[in-house]
Amino acid sequence: MIDDKPSFPDDLVPADAPPSYDAITNANAPINVDSKNRPVNAMAGPSSSRSPAPSPSTQRAFHEGLAAQPSGFPYSWFSSRSSRETKSTITSLIRDLVRPPNSSLACNEILSSCAEACASYSLSLSSILQEKFCEGHTPLYWAIINKPRQTEEESEELLSALLRYSVPLTPSTISELRLACLVTSDQNLFRHLRRELKPLSGTDEMLLGAAGSDDVRVVDTNATEGAFAAEIKISQFQKRMRVGKEVEVEFIAQARLWRLSFFVSSHDRHRSPRRGSWCVGLSLMESSPPTWVDSRLIIQDQPVQDVIDGEQSKPKPTISLRIKSPGELVPTNAFARANQTKQIVVSLEESIMGQTLQFGGTSYIANDEVLRVRLETRLCKPGTECVIM
């Protein structure tokens, strides 16, 4: 039992302050709501006006007193309000969570209390978190934009908590997350969130299962020349190409969102790969600035060690494909002018050993059925040779 408790003078108590401790101890017990089972309504549109923020004293009392109060404290505070007032308070608290300097220490408690209040008033916290009430963007967007990189684990705890209470994500929210990763050039976070930002197709999900996934690691090899290298691992490459006819990966490099795809050509066109040939395509995705591209795709032989004599077979020549743009490369959702292109397409058959990727038992794919690819790229007009520094 607490004998001494802080008190406000009557003229300093804010109108929307939390109830006193005496009132808290007599409040009903908190409602136990499982956030995974609560109903999720359709996402509401952007707010037409900014929600009024609670006074600084209210925010300070809420944040500082949360850990010391009984578990029913936040819910008891919310319970005396109307649905509109409750939503206004929730949005203000969430805005405060994602503004710098943000701390993830109390984010789980605050979001849990917000979820309880939403359940009581038939509100959807998932929908609220996906509304664009923070300067035209969702709280998830700002959680990424303001994520400090020096404290990676703590800063990702806030984003993870917001994501847990936001599912299922709408296409609009997914676009917001992709844009935020692009704005911050955060390939590591984009890679970590790949399942949320680029869900597997139904075919890939059947072939790979829940655990299977591709992986991309990017290294900026020469920032002054816009050069980078991407190390790519593609699981079940041959099986996915034969069944789904296409495999693609996305990654962020040099402030752009890229898509590298392998696909089976489905039509015969002038100056295009013949029907049925296996091809590789490179393109830019949404919100990426146009650029010239000069790159090469490198696939090395994966020699297998002989079980009998313990020696490796002699490696075959490296597959090297030049991928260069005939004009500026623009995003696939942008309008392409006469001197611009939306995708660079090259047939694997342009390399002597490239077409062997179709054959069973090819030594360019390891025993784990993973295709390992290196994409070396410079953002410049193609010259006579592709040289990546």
What is the residue-averaged pLDDT of the chain?
81
Band of residue 155 on the pLDDT scale cut at 50, 70, 90:
low
Q: What is the pLDDT of residue 272?
A: 80
92: closest CA among 40, 68, 128? 128
Q: What is the pLDDT of residue 48?
A: 38
Mean pLDDT of 369-373: 96
Q: What is the pLDDT of residue 305?
A: 60
Q: What is the pLDDT of residue 267?
A: 79
Share of the chain above pLDDT 70, in %: 72
Among 10-14, 65-69, 179-183, 339-343, where is mean pLDDT lowest?
A: 10-14
Q: Which tokens go with 308?
A: 């009998």
Q: What is the pLDDT of residue 303?
A: 76
Sign of the CA dihedral with 56 first, then 59, 64, and 68 last: positive
Q: Is the model more confident about 266 or about 243?
A: 243
Question: pTM for the full model?
Answer: 0.77
**Alpha-carbon gap, residue 329 to 337, rounded angstroms:** 10
Please state the length of the chain: 389
Residue 174 has pLDDT above 90, yes or no: yes
Q: Is the model more confident about 98 or about 37?
A: 98
Q: What's the pLDDT tens digit per position in 230-256?
A: 999 999 999 999 999 999 999 999 999
Q: What is the pLDDT of residue 156?
A: 80
The single residue listed with the structure tokens 């390992």 is: 372
Residue 382 has pLDDT above 90, yes or no: yes
Question: Is the separation of the CB atoms in 336 and 288 below 8 Å?
Answer: no
Residue 326 has pLDDT above 90, yes or no: yes
Q: What is the pLDDT of residue 17?
A: 41
Question: Is the separation of the CB atoms in 308 and 277 below 8 Å?
Answer: no
Question: Is the separation of the CB atoms in 256 and 268 below 8 Å?
Answer: no
Q: What's the pLDDT tens digit per position in 180-229?
A: 999 999 999 999 998 888 888 889 999 998 767 899 999 977 777 789 99
Q: What is the pLDDT of residue 189?
A: 95
Q: What's the pLDDT tens digit per position in 105-123?
A: 789 999 999 999 999 999 9
Q: What's the pLDDT tens digit per position in 21-58?
A: 343 334 433 434 344 433 333 333 333 334 444 445 44
Q: What's the pLDDT tens digit per position in 43-96?
A: 333 333 344 444 454 455 444 544 444 455 455 555 557 889 999 999 999 999
Q: What is the pLDDT of residue 383?
A: 82
Q: Determine what percent of the chain falls in helix, strand and coil, rounding each to the nearest 5.
A: 35, 20, 45
Sign of the CA dihedral with 199 first, then 203, 206, and 211 last: negative
Biggest distance spanned by C-alpha atoms of the chain: 90
